[in-house]
Structures are given as C-alpha cells and as structure tokens.
Amino acid sequence: MKVRVKLYGVFRSAAKSSEIVLDVETNANIKAVVTQLASREDFQNLRQLLLDNSTSDPRPNALVLVSGREINTLRGLDTLLHEGDDVAMLPIAHGG
C-alpha cells in the first residue's frame, strides 16, 4: 500500500524532498516506515537527524503524526497505517 511521508524543517533539507511516497506492506506500522526511510542510502543525512543513536527511535527528535494525530496518542511506533495515510515528521528543537 502507499503511504505519503511529509518532511518538515531540517528533515526536508536532509532528504532534499518535502514529500516521499512509500510502498509498505498492508498493516504496516510507523516503525516499518521509519525503518524503510532509514535504510535508504540516499537518506543517510535524514537518518542521522531523525533517529536517536542509542534506541533508533525517532521520537526524541521528531513529532510524528499520522493523518494529523500524534502517534503517542495512538499506539506509538506500533500505530497501524492504512492506504492513503499521511505521516508527518516535524523536527523537535533541542537546546538551552
């Protein structure tokens, strides 16, 4: 099935694209989308910005939404996706 991933801020710059359409398995979850993005050779810069080094989890670095709903209000990385869902990844600013 097809899922559209929208990237914002530094994620968009790193991927050199604001939107990516991925083919994922039926009943795929957010974890599968993140894994697919991170495994692409052309997205090495995106992987470094998106994933936490120790956990490979995007949530410390990104606000992830599925069709407008934040994934932590759903099932986190196990949130199931459906045909036509939009996944948005917004960078979280860290600092002091």
Domain boundaries, the chain: 2-91
User: Any idea of the CA torsion for 41, 47, 49, 52, to the nearest 10 degrees?
Assistant: -160
DSSP 8-53: -THHHHHHT-SEEEEE--TT-BHHHHHHHHHH-GGGHHHHHHHS-T
Which residues share a beta bridge with 4? 21, 86
- The 3-state DSSP class for residue 69 equals strand
Encode pLDDT of 42-80 as tens digits.
999 999 999 998 998 999 999 999 999 999 999 999 999
What fold is seen in the domain 2-91? Ubiquitin-like (UB roll) (3.10.20)
- Residue 84: pLDDT band by 50, 70, 90 thresholds? confident
Other Cβ atoms closer than 10 A to 16: 11
